[in-house]
């Protein structure tokens, strides 16, 4: 059985709607929780190709906050090794920013919060990619305040008016999503509680966010499964 490692920064930002599709594709799932005892050392010692697939999940910190969160240095070093091996790698939100940083690109505050359910616009490359399910149904969940420059050699897949670099690919084996295609909207209450300070500071209507999660839950779960399955089918290995 193939192995999929998810690097997790906060417990409620997990594989979500991606988990069933990974299991259906024959992957054994495990999490590395960087904030728990032993997680930092495991990350520092982790061989870059131990797992068939690595997915780096989201979190409410900045890639550039190395002084406050020293584990970021080990995480970026691991991603540099994984990129050098061209081993299958996916990043979501903070994870995409970490991959961009590991690939030599700049990550920085965007100057605004993009939080809520809104459409993405696919590029021509994006329409031909695993994001094809979003061509006719472009709605997804956004939850970020940082952005990044495209890494050298990366192909832009999706944008929004507020944030140009919403998804990118580095060849066939590396992909990053600034938005949250994996979010399981049936668990949105954990996000609303976990991010309450951010939501209130940004003036987000929490009741509407909850209502929208219920409205779009099934559509987003279907697109999550289709997107992940298409990406796995296109891997080089």
pLDDT tens-place string over residues 118-139: 999 999 999 999 999 999 999 9
Whether residue 41 is predicted with pLDDT greater than 90 in this model: the reply is no
Q: What are phi and psi of 175, to 5 degrees?
A: -145, 145
Tokens of 42: 């495991």
The DSSP secondary-structure symbol of 67 reads T
User: Are 60 and 199 contacting, i.e. CB atoms less than 8 angstroms apart?
Assistant: no
Beta bridge partners of 146: 109
pLDDT band for 237, please (50, 70, 90 cuts): low
Query: Between the CA atoms of 182, 186, 189 and 194, what dihedral angle is there, to the nearest 10 degrees?
Result: -20
Instruction: Tell me the C-alpha distance between 115 and 28, whole Å.
Output: 32
* Domain CATH for 86: 3.40.50.880
Domain count for the chain, please give it: 1
Residue ranges of alpha helices (H) inside 114-201 are: 124-127, 188-194, 196-201
Strands (E) across the chain are located at 2-8, 27-33, 53-56, 89-92, 107-119, 121-122, 139-148, 155-159, 167-170, 174-177
Measured CA angle at 124 (ends 122, 126), to 5 deg: 50
**Kind of pairing, strands 2-8 and 53-56?**
parallel
Q: Please compute the mean of the pLDDT values over residues 19-44 and round it to a whole number.
A: 88
Q: Predicted confidence band at 37 (pLDDT cuts at 50, 70, 90)?
A: confident
Active site residue ranges: 93, 180, 182
Q: For 202-219, write each residue's pLDDT tens digit.
A: 999 999 999 999 999 999
pLDDT in tens, 91-104: 999 999 999 999 99
CA angle (31, 154, 159) in 5-degree steps:
85
* Strand order across the 121-122 sheet: 27-33, 2-8, 53-56, 89-92, 174-177, 167-170, 155-159, 121-122
Sign of CA dihedral 139, 141, 143, 148: negative
Compute the half-sphere exposure of residue 137: CA atoms within 13 Å on the CB side of its CA.
Answer: 14
CA distances from 47 to 8, 103, 182, 213 (A): 17, 18, 26, 38
Rounded to the nearest 10 degrees, the angle between the axes of helix 94-102 and helix 71-84 is: 70
Task: Provide the residue range defining the domain that includes 74.
Answer: 2-233
Contacts of 36 (CB under 8 A, 6+ apart): none
């Amino acid at each position: 059985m193939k192995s999929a490692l998810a690097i997790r920064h906060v417990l409620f930002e997990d594989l979500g709607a991606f988990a069933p599709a990974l299991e259906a594709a024959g992957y054994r799932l495990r999490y590395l929780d960087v904030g728990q005892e032993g997680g930092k050392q495991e990350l520092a010692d982790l061989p870059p190709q131990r797992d068939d697939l690595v997915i780096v999940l989201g979190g409410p910190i900045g890639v550039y906050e190395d002084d406050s969160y020293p584990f970021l240095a080990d995480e970026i070093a691991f991603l540099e090794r994984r990129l050098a091996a061209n081993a299958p790698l996916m990043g979501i939100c903070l994870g995409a920013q970490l991959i961009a940083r590991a690939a030599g690109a700049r990550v920085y505050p965007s100057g605004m919060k993009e939080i809520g359910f809104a459409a993405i616009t696919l590029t021509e490359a994006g329409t031909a990619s695993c994001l094809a399910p979003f061509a006719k149904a472009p709605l997804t969940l956004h939850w970020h305040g940082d952005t990044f420059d495209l890494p050298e050699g990366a192909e832009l897949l999706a944008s929004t008016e507020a944030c140009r670099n919403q998804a990118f690919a580095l060849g066939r084996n590396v992909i990053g999503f600034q938005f949250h295609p994996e979010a399981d909207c049936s668990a949105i209450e954990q996000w609303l509680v976990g991010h309450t300070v951010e939501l209130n500071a940004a003036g987000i209507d929490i009741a509407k966010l909850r209502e929208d999660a219920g409205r779009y839950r099934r559509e987003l779960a279907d697109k999550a499964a289709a997107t992940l399955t298409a990406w796995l089918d296109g891997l080089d290995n």
